Structure 1
Amino acid sequence: MAELPVVVVGAGPVGLAAAAHLVERGSTPLVLEAGEQAGAAVRQWHHVRLFSRWAELVDPAAERLLASTGWQAPDPDGHPTGQEWATRYLQPLAEVLGDRVRFGARVVGVARRGRDRVVDAGRDRVPLTVHLADERITARAVVDASGTWSGPNPLGGDGLPAIGERAAAARIGYRVPDLDDPAVRSRFAGERIAVAGSGHSALTALVAFAELAAAEPGTHVTWLLRRGRLGDTFGGGDADQLPARGALGRRAAAAVEAGHVRIVTGFRTRAVEAAADGLVLVADDGRRLDPVAEVVALTGFRPDLSWLSEVRLDLDPVLQAPRALAPLIDPNVHSCGTVSPHGARELTQPEPGVFLVGMKSYGRAPTFLAMTGYEQVRSVVAAIDGDQAAAGRVELVLPETGVCGGAGVFDDPAGAADGGCCGAPVEPVAVGVGRPQD
């Protein structure tokens, strides 16, 4: 099987980094991307500025590969938009990889050749088969870097769509809107808007909507939080080791302080009702909001595991992340601001040669950094190459968030939400100016 390619699913930042590491080690990658361009998902949030710097957004092996073409690295201290990340880095990287990247190639299944998931006999002696609609590709290993962008969580507070949510789909968005687009801006200007979610995407949207409210009279923004209090929602502020991430929280806090955003806490949406003047959101405790014209649901993402049904996976039952990784990233208990660097040891599955990396490896957990994915694929590719020493090394130090406290996803009457294992959460500081990020 050593002569077979390693199939990488997804030509996003982590998938292309995996391919660069494979090339550097003399292996043959084949990147299969469902979209028509490198970074297809990144291009869909093209208007959002990242809080990571260029220095943290370029994989070292990819940079070495690009350097051979004369590629000039951007200013390491700059913060690109999604569009800049895609056009200045991901697209050139895909081009240098050449025909080792195939676009318009949607993977619909992965299996062990000639064996479904029930069969034990000879399983470790035959290759994997990667299924496209009308093609089968034999592979030495499969690195799933397909991400979670195609699986946004619903507005409903129990993980399933709220009553009436699907019927109201024309007025509910699940992405950060581009308010620099005149058509999009005119849709929201002067309207009542509800934003649901507490992560970085929600903060980014709130900052943008607050600026719209300041410029367009009649624009009202209601921020829906499932948790019962703000707590550490605004992040770590000046204590965040990614300064732009801390600045995002400060800008969101400033928008609230300025009166541009009204906060409703403990609101877990049960139903969406159509009204003459918009949509009425109903909470599971019976509260009803005033009608809004639009809802922006930024409640996270979840992985699509359907096309991995015939390979053997060991996933955490809560997060749908690799079982060994889950305790490091579980938002119910994870605290102290950072995730330990990890790699092949935590990502190895019962199915030999199958790895989930990047956002896909986090399952439903939030706050993934590109450099986490780059460290993952460095280690995974080393393991595929048989270099267990390199696979086991830690070659990354992650920046801390400055936030310390678990149980942020739901009120914990025992007090975990008030500081977890590390003391009180960081209080928001409603000053300062930063960049809109995700």
Structure 2
Amino acid sequence: MDELPIVIIGAGPQGLAAAAHLAERDVEVVVLERGEEPAAAVSEWGHVRLFSAWPELTDTAARRLLEPTGWSAPTSGYPTGAEWVNDYLAPLAGVLGERVKYATTVTGISRQGRDKVVDGGRKSQPFTVHAVDQDGNEARLRARAVIDASGTWGIPNPAGGDGFPALGEARAHASISYRIPDDVSDFAGSHVVVVGAGHSATHAVLRLSELARRSPGTQVTWLLRRGSATNVFDGGLGDELPERAALGSRARKMIDEGLVNLVTGFRVAEFRQDGETLTVIAEDGHEVAGVAHVFALTGFRPDTEMLRELRIDLDPALDAVAGIAAEIDPNIHSCGSVGATGARELAQPEQGFFIVGVKAYGRAPTFLAMTGYEQVRSVAAHLAGDHEAAARNELALPDTGVCGGSGDFDDNAGSCCAAPAPSVMQIGRRPVTVG
């Protein structure tokens, strides 16, 4: 099997970084990318500015591979997704050259001649990567190891508060979006709802609030499932990523100015079509009516269908790699930063198979690019036989300053990053608490 390549699924930031580390160690590698260009998923949110600065967005081995070409690493500023692709990820893919295969969708991974049930001789057999190209042509690639860096972008969570689509959500698909908007001018003068409490939702709220400032009559309602808005505003001065702290601060300013109605404790149960508008109904009966469009930005979840014939260990709550789940669980994660995660923590029962990047985090929302780069550095070292390097921790994460956890999910209790007490407003039939 040593003569076979290592197959990497996904030519995004972590997939390309893994390829750079393996190429630097003279290990044969093949990267399979579903899109027709590198980092195709990042390009889809190219209009969004990252809250990580340039030095945190490039990988060490990738820089060493690029610098002989005359490329210089950006040293300051906060790029948009498009700038990240154009100024770093696309040049990196170019240097990797024919190692990267585009328009190739992986449909399954298995052990050659053995399904998930078979024990006999399992570890001695290579992996078989099942793939199909854009014309429907099937292919089988044998690999000595596989790194799944395919991300979670393809499966956004629904708006429904219980993890499934709300009643009427599928029927109302024309009025519901699951991505951060770019041009929001078409919503001028209408009522727009954002569902979600993460950074994607915050980005959307900020874009829409600027529209509300420019276009009187535009109404923006922000629905949170939690009983408290504390985490939305992040850790302020306790956050060592200043742009992330500023994101929450800007959102709070828009709320204080009356450009956004923030509603807490609202778990979507139903979308009801009322002529040309929607009524959004919560589990407890509260209603938000006259809605022209909804942005459901409630996070993403990993696609594990292609892994069904492998023996993998995922956390039952997070769908994250079990070995790192305790470090990243938003139910218990509090102020401070998550620990570094490398080959040891990411190891699967299926020897030689690793899930890295945001997909390793499953549904947990705490992933940073620099965490993923440390993951692939360690995994690449392990697969190349450099176990000393694989065991090293070369990552220093910034403090999040965020008090996570779902202890306040059902109430308005404060926390170590508590914001001022909420006020009360009336929406629909019943009073709703607003942060």
Normalised by the length of structure 1, the TM-score is 0.93
Code of the residue aligned with 2:318 in structure 1: it is L
Deviation, structure 1 residue 150: 0.3
SS at match of 1:111: strand
Q: Is the 8 A contact 2:228 2:408 kept in 1?
A: no
Alignment of 1:415-430 (within 5 A): 418-419=414-415, 424-427=416-419
Whole-Å Cα distance in 1 between the matches of residues 404 and 191 of structure 2?
A: 33
Contact 1:320/1:364 (<8 A) preserved: yes
Aligned partner of 2:146 in structure 1 is 142
When structure 1 is superposed on structure 2, of 252-261 and 277-286 the one drifting more is 277-286
Aligned residue for 1:436?
none
The one-letter code sitting in structure 1 at the alignment partner of 2:254 is: A
CA drift at 1:202: 0.9
SS for the counterpart of 1:203 is helix
Taking only aligned residues, the RMSD between alpha carbons, in angstroms, comes to 1.4
Aligned residue for 2:192?
193
Q: 1:305 to 1:324 in 2, by over 3 A?
A: same
Query: How many Å separate the matches in 1 of 2:410 and 2:414?
Result: 9
For 1:49 and 1:12, the matched residues in 2 are separated by 17
Determine the C-alpha separation between the residues in 1 that align with 2:16 and 2:231. 34
What does 1:45-194 correspond to in 2, within 5 Å? 45-74=45-74, 76-133=75-132, 134-179=138-183, 185-194=184-193
Counterpart CA distance in 2 for 1:136 and 1:277 is 49
Q: CA deviation at 1:312?
A: 0.3
2:319 is equivalent to residue 320 of structure 1: yes
Q: Which residue of 2 aligns with 1:216?
A: 215
Give runs of aligned pairs for residues 262-277 of structure 1, distance below 5 A: 262-277=261-276
- In structure 2, the partner of 1:281 is 280
Counterpart residue number, 1:16: 16
Letter in 2 for 1:125: S
Q: CA deviation at 1:35?
A: 0.3
Is the 8 Å Cα contact of residues 192 and 221 (structure 1) preserved in structure 2? yes
* Kept after mapping to 2: 8 A contact 1:234/1:428: no
**How much has 1:350 moved relative to structure 2?**
0.3
| CA shift for structure 1 position 404 | 2.5
Does structure 2 retain, via aligned residues, the 8 Å contact 1:249–1:428?
no
> Does structure 1 retain, via aligned residues, the 8 Å contact 2:278–2:291?
yes
Q: Which is richer in strand? A: 2
Deviation at 1:2, TM superposition (A): 1.2
**Superposition deviation, residue 206 in structure 1:** 1.0
Rounded Cα–Cα distance in structure 1 between residues aligned with 2:418 and 2:9: 39
How many Å apart are 1:78 and its aligned residue? 0.9
In the alignment, residue 232 of structure 2 is paired with which amino acid? T
1:130 Cα deviation (Å)?
0.3
1-structure distance, mates of 2:268, 2:405: 23
Q: List alignment gaps of at least 5 residues for structure 1.
A: 180-184, 430-438
SS of the residue aligned with 1:68? helix
Distance in 1 between residues matched to 2:117 and 2:420, nearest whole Å = 52
Letter in 2 for 1:131: H
The worse-fitting range, judged by mean Cα deviation, of 138-147 and 399-408 is 399-408
Does the 8 A contact of 2:53 with 2:77 survive in 1? yes
Q: Measure, in 2, the Cα distance between the counterparts of 1:218 and 1:321.
A: 43
Task: Give the deviation of 1:403 after TM superposition.
Answer: 1.5
TM-superposed CA distance for 1:196, in Å, is 0.5
CA–CA separation in structure 1 for the residues paired with 2:200 and 2:337: 19
Give the distance between the partners of 2:106 and 2:408, measured in 1 at CA.
33
Cα distance in 2 for partners of 1:348, 1:378 equals 14
Deviations 1:245-269 (A, max 9, x none): 1111110000000000001111000
Separation in 1, partners of 2:297, 2:323: 27
- The SS at the match of 1:427 is coil
Question: Where does residue 253 of structure 1 map in the other structure?
Answer: 252
Output one character per residue of 1:309-357: Cα deviation in whole Å (capped at 9) or x when no partner.
0000011111111111101111111112311111111100000111000
* CA deviation vs aligned residue, 1:410-432 (integer Å, no higher than 9, x gap): 2369xxx643xxxx224379xxx
The residue matched to 1:106 in structure 2 has which SS?
strand
Q: Does 1:309 align with 2:308?
A: yes
- Indicate the SS of the match to 1:279: strand
Q: Structure 2-normalised TM-score?
A: 0.93
Contact conserved, 2:185 with 2:211, CA < 8 A, in 1? Answer: no
User: Which consecutive unaligned segments of at least 5 residues does structure 2 have?
Assistant: 133-137, 422-435
> Does the 8 Å CA contact 1:235/1:426 hold for their aligned counterparts?
no
Q: Which amino acid aligns with 2:419?
A: E
Distance 1:405 1:17 in 2: 29
Residues 363-408 of structure 1: CA deviation (Å, up to 9, x unaligned): 0111211000000000011111121111111001101111234226
Map 1:374-385 → 2, pairs under 5 A: 374-385=373-384
2: distance between equivalents of 1:172 and 1:336?
34
Indicate conservation of the 8 Å contact 1:403/1:426, yes or no.
Answer: no
User: Could you tell me the percent identity over the aligned residues?
Assistant: 58
Residue 16 of structure 2 aligns to which amino acid in structure 1?
L
